[in-house]
Amino acid sequence: MNDHALQYIDRDSVVHRMDALSKSIWLMCVAVAMLTFNSILSGLVMLVVLLFVTLVLARVSPGKLLRASPSVFGVAVIIGLFHSLVNPGRPVLSLGIATVTDQGIVIGIGYFFRMAVVVLSSYVFIWTTDIHDLMAGLVALGLSYRLAFAVFIALRFLPIMQAEVDAVKAAHAIRGSGAKQSLKRRYELWQRYLFTILVNGMRKAESAAAAVDCRGFGRYPVRTFIKPFRWSRHGIAMVFTFVLLAVFLHWLERQGVDISLFPA
């Protein structure tokens, strides 16, 4: 079985035993905190704590994290480099027509931590959350089970679509299309990837819709679940821990505590 990045990891860990709604609230708290932080120190602390949660509390293997690192840190690096080039300040490095500034580096590092923490926390949520439990939790909150099932289908299709991408890449590699190619040729291949994935995705969506209709889904106003939803103490504790951490980091920012990369 292929080890896909966007796939639930069935494992016994502290984070796996947390309820799905608590982890959803935790994910939103992390995203809001990172959007409101202004300090490099805050982003660094959040990333270190999140890596501890990933490797120790969630028991995600370092190899799994390493394989997902291009997705986790790739966009963060690109956005950080972009802001280091476009923001004004004292020139530090000249790269042809582009100039890296001191303020740009500071802002770029801040954006790097912001993106990396949000994306990694999303991966932790996917790796440790059974989407059946998430659907039951959303229904327990009062959401219609039809809408909750739509969320379930969307998350369920993520690893399926990733498997489709891997299958298409393997098929092209077998035919020799994956060998050294020009940029134009690679662009044409990606167009083929996209077309094939969209067509397969539409076919799977039609099959899923037919299966739902055959089972009479949505006929009754209330749906029961074999595994009922229950709030977990560990999940609530993690939410409060990260909220307190965010409040503490905001307090440090108000006190003027930060990492200064360049002297004033």
**pLDDT confidence of residue 264:** 46
**pLDDT confidence of residue 80:** 87
The parts of the chain modelled with pLDDT lower than 70 are 1-5, 159, 162, 168, 172-173, 175-183, 185-186, 189, 215, 218, 220, 225, 258-264
**pLDDT confidence of residue 155:** 72
**pLDDT confidence of residue 172:** 65
C-beta of residue 2 within 8 angstroms of C-beta of residue 164 = no
**pLDDT confidence of residue 2:** 47
pTM, two decimal places: 0.77
